[in-house]
Structures are given as structure tokens and as C-alpha cells.
Amino acid sequence: MEYRQLGESNLQLSAITFGAWAIGGWMWGGTERKGATEAIRASIDQGVTSIDTAPIYGQGTSEEIVGEALKGIPRSKVQILTKFGLTWEGTKGKFNVKSKNNNNEDIDIYKYAGKESVIKECEDSLRRLGTDYIDLYQIHWADETTPIEETFEAVLRLQEQGKIRAAGVCNYNVEQMERANSVVKLASNQVPFSMVERTIEQEVKPWCIENGKGILAYSPLQRGILTGKIKPGHAFGEGDHRPTTRFYQPDNIARINAFLALIKPLAEKKNATLAQLVIRWTIERPGITVALVGARNADQAVQNAKAIDVKLLPEEIDFINKHLYALQLV
């Protein structure tokens, strides 16, 4: 495994970080706790030391599974990354979305990051995770109803109390990062980034590079489509959110598969899967610190971690990029 400093913080993360969204079941059609726990432990056996989760993933389920999986592992050997600012309790903040919990009950989710709420969320996360500190504490989405300065004053207090080691944001634009950074030194921004979703390269990534902030790329496999396993006509399970997204529209599934067919020979030459090639390409991209990759069983976790063994020459990256830049999605 390779390990990278996150921005200018004192955190060293594994270049391939375990993303624990799917194991919470939320928007992914349910969860299986035993397989999820085994997936995390298998990742750690492969040298993955960083686990990224959030309270909203299964309304606490993902954090609980992470805590269970890490029992018996020396706390200093792993980095726990979690979030705050999406709440399914109460009605404060901006209404975000109607959803269902893992019991198939209707719930309303709000974006809210008022000072006292942030502190309460941190305490709840510490309890579910079974730890006394969080390595990276990140706001999940911007809360338009609370001044950014108020939110990050609470984060600063948590850092001063030793309950978090570093502060981060997710899905923030440049102006929002600047305001947060004026209160507490940010380590990073966690943002969507993949071969087919490169919006951050316009403004966010240049700012992060210039200002010494790490970037955690989430959905580098675009929720599975860049593995090559999602073909036209794929049947998704009940509760799976992916068919509602742009990349999973029939025309785009076909176009992405055509692109993958062009780069698959390179993966085969490397004795790698398409997913491993894509993950390696992602962490080679300038400005990207780590790639967050999810797994729902041990085999997936091992295969993801082994992407670190793929080595790409500059001319091979150019070959991938040539075909990638010719890909036009609708």
C-alpha cells in the first residue's frame, strides 16, 4: 500500500481508502453486516488503514459496522473519517430529501450544521464507532441555514478538546472552503471524482493544490459502472438509487461500456481488472490524495486494495486519457 499526507495535516492516509457508504445500505438496496465487517477487515489485511463513513449511511448503521470491524485493532493503526451535517432527527436546517431507513420506513433528511448539533453529532458518532477521537471530521454537505463560521467554530472546539484530529469538508465550492478555512485550518475536501465526473478540475482542484488541501475522491468507480460489470439492461435491486443518476441512463451505460472496451486490453496486459486500472488512474491524477472505494464483501475489498500494485507509465496514462476525452455522455 502507499500512504499519503492529507493536505498540510498530520494525517497519513492509505492511497486507497475504504468507503463505507454502501455497507450502510442507504440508497444501495440493503446491507449485510457480516459481509461488511469482513470487507473492512480484509481491506486492513491488505494495508488499507483509512475508513470513511458517515452517520447518514444507514442512519448510524455504517458507523456501527465500522466500529464493530475495528474492535481489537490498535486505534493508532487506523484512521477513522466520518461526517456531520445530514440529520434525520428533527426538522432544523434545509430539507434535503425524502428517503427510507433500513426498516423501509419513510424519513425526512435535513442539511443542518448548527453549533450544538455539530457537537451532538460528534458525540453520537464517537459512541457508534466505539472510539474517543475521530481522525478527520467532515461536513457532509453545505448547510445554507447556518453561517459557515458558526459551524466551524464548533469543529474548532472539538479539535481543541481532542475529539477530532483534523477538519475537512465535503462537496464544498471554493468560496465555502475559504470561509471554513478562515475559522479552522482545513485538511481536505471530499468530492465526487471519476473518469466520467471531472467537474472539480475546473475550480476546486486548482484551489486545493494552491492552498495545500488534500482531495478525497469519492465514487471513483462511479458507483460501479466503471468496473465494466454494469451492462445495458442491468437489473437493479429495490432501493438502489443508481438508476436515477445521469451515468446510469441507458445511452450512457452503452457509451461508457464502449470506452471501457478500448482500455480493457491495457488492464489485461497488467493482469488487472478494469476496476483496478480505473482506481490506479484515479490516484495518479494530479491533486488527488486518495480514492474512496467501497466493498460489500471481503473479495471485493481485496481486489480494490490490490489496485495499488498496478503501475502505469506516462504513455499508458496518455492512452487512457485520449479515449476518455473522446467519450461524450448525454
Confidence band of 25 (pLDDT split at 50, 70, 90): low
pLDDT of residue 27: 47
Q: What is the rounded CA–CA span in Å between residue 16 and residue 1?
A: 8
**244: its cell numbers:** 436515477
Helix (H) / strand (E) containing 89: none
Among the listed residues 271, 270, 257, the one whose alpha carbon sits nearest the alpha carbon of residue 222? 257
Average pLDDT over residues 66-76: 96
Instruction: Parse the chain into domains and list their residue ranges.
Output: 3-223+275-312
Q: How would you class 91 by CB atoms within 10 Å of its CB: exposed for 0-12, middle for 13-18, buried for 19 or more? A: exposed
pLDDT of residue 213: 98
Q: What is the rounded CA–CA span in Å between residue 201 and residue 317?
A: 17
Quote the mean pLDDT of the chain: 93
pLDDT at 96 over 90: no
Average pLDDT over residues 236-245: 82
For the stretch 282-302, pLDDT in tens is 999 999 999 999 988 999 999
Range in 33-42, 101-110, 180-189 the model is least confident about:
101-110
pLDDT at 29 over 80: no
Output 26 or 237, whichever has higher pLDDT. Answer: 237
**71: its cell numbers:** 474492535
Contact by Cβ (8 Å): 252, 246:
yes
Contact by Cβ (8 Å): 16, 283:
yes
For the stretch 160-216, pLDDT in tens is 999 999 999 999 999 999 999 999 999 999 999 999 999 999 999 999 999 999 999
Backbone angles phi, psi at 134, to 5 degrees: -115, 135
Catalytic residue flag (residue 57): yes
Backbone angles phi, psi at 301, to 5 degrees: -65, -45
- CATH architecture assignment, domain 3-223+275-312: Alpha-Beta Barrel (3.20)
Which of 3, 57, 248, 325 is catalytic? The answer is: 57
What are the C-alpha distances in Å from 307 to residues 145, 182, 272, 276, 300? Answer: 41, 37, 8, 4, 11
pLDDT of residue 151: 98
pLDDT of residue 4: 98
Percentage of the chain lying above the pLDDT 90 cut: 81
Confidence band of 249 (pLDDT split at 50, 70, 90): very high
pLDDT at 90 over 80: no
Confidence band of 28 (pLDDT split at 50, 70, 90): very low
Rounded to 5°, the CA angle 91-93-95 comes to 70
For the stretch 121-149, pLDDT in tens is 999 999 999 999 999 999 999 999 999 99
57: Cβ–Cβ under 8 A, 6 or more apart, which residues? 20, 21, 23, 24, 25, 26, 63
pLDDT of residue 158: 98
H helical segments located in the chain: 33-45, 61-69, 115-129, 148-160, 174-181, 204-210, 250-269, 274-284, 298-305, 314-325
pLDDT at 233 over 90: no
Contact by Cβ (8 Å): 189, 166:
no
Q: What is the rounded CA–CA span in Å between residue 132 and residue 125?
A: 10
